[in-house]
Amino acid sequence: MLVLCACKNEKNQAKKIEEVKQSDIQVNITRFEDQLFACDPNKLDVDLPKLEKQFPLFYPVFYNQVLQVPTFGDKGTQLNYMRDFITNKYNTGLLDSVKKTFPNLDFLKKDLEILFTNYKSHFPKKPTPKVITCISEFQSSTFTVTDSIIAISLDLYLGPKYIYYADIFKQYSFMIPTFDKKYMAIDCANVLATNLVPPPGDNSTLLDKMIAKGKMFYIMENLLPNKDENDIIKYTKKDWKFCINNQVNIWTYFINKKLLYDTRFEQYKYITEAPTTYGMPKESPGRVGAWLGWQIVRAYMQQHPSTTIKELLAIKDGQKILTESKYKPTSSN
């Protein structure tokens, strides 16, 4: 199956800098949540420093940025916060759900081997990231710590039917279908791609923003060629079909509305998460502008087959990529 998927996406594969063998990649996943919740609530002043010493890079980011425990202030208040975190019934119940859903992560190791093999092939000087799992009270699905660690919050992959998602994410219910383990490796690829693609400046055009998102999706599909393209962008097959069948209409909309060179901040609405895309039919998926940027980047790379991803990333001018892509939308594949 993997071979068939790879062949299907072969037309979208960029030139590699170095061919790394999958057998050379070792994936080790550390279950940080087990170690954190194993701490003695009455001895956190002893146990937490030990944990921080064991995870010197990850722990401060998890503690201060993800859980948002203040770096400065009364130590007793900080310990009380962490004591509540590991003892309150909601989080202990969450830990039970995580353990039941993910007694092991063998399924993820296979995907990460593919991901890291391709990552090292395109970026040989980058380290192979270590993988650490945690529970973040639904704060962040995945995040990186420098280039060396990918962290995965398992509480955001318990499946769309998880009993508490509907209440917690009332305003973002359209995202609940993506809280599934099938997207775990894809989210890992996403955070790696996010670190590689510089965010466009505040005065950048919508085209630049679209191209930046397009670069990210292009990197992701190269890192995980075994994944379906609709899953890379977290579209249903119906969503993907809508975009394919309406490519001409989508492109015409952006041209007629003179949006490509608009620098207003509000134009982010065309590339950010949403149940549908502003100004388009209600059956459209969100982020259609990002999807379009992806197709333009694909077209550019097909016009320049000897270009590596690193060389693509070096091109900051979205207009150059659009012009040289010779992108010509059609209504079907």
How is residue 142 written in tokens?
Answer: 């995945």
The per-residue pLDDT of the chain, averaged, comes to: 93
Once rounded to an integer, what is the mean pLDDT over residues 67-77?
80
Count of residues for the chain?
333
pLDDT of 4:
36
Once rounded to an integer, what is the mean pLDDT over residues 276-296?
97
Would you state the torsion angle of the CA atoms of residues 266, 272, 276, 277, taken in this order, to the nearest 10 degrees?
Answer: 50
Give the rounded distance of the alpha carbon of 204 from its chain centre: 23
Listed by start position, the domains of the chain span: 19-194, 197-325
Query: For the segment 206-218, what is each residue's pLDDT rounded down to a tens digit?
Result: 999 999 999 999 9
pLDDT at 2 over 60: no
pLDDT of 9:
59
CA 48, 53, 54, 58 dihedral sign is positive
Place of tokens 């353990």: 99
Query: For the segment 93-145, what is each residue's pLDDT rounded down to a tens digit?
Result: 999 999 999 999 999 999 999 999 999 999 999 999 999 999 999 999 999 99
Alpha-carbon span 250 to 145, nearest angstrom = 37
Once rounded to an integer, what is the mean pLDDT over residues 149-167?
97
Helices (H), ranges, the chain: 2-8, 32-37, 44-54, 58-60, 75-87, 89-101, 106-122, 165-168, 184-196, 206-223, 229-232, 237-245, 247-256, 288-303, 309-313, 318-325
pLDDT of 332:
57
pLDDT of 331:
65
Alpha-carbon span 156 to 25, nearest angstrom = 26
Once rounded to an integer, what is the mean pLDDT over residues 299-303?
98
Query: For the segment 15-40, what is each residue's pLDDT rounded down to a tens digit?
Result: 999 999 999 999 999 999 999 999 99
Once rounded to an integer, what is the mean pLDDT over residues 307-322?
97
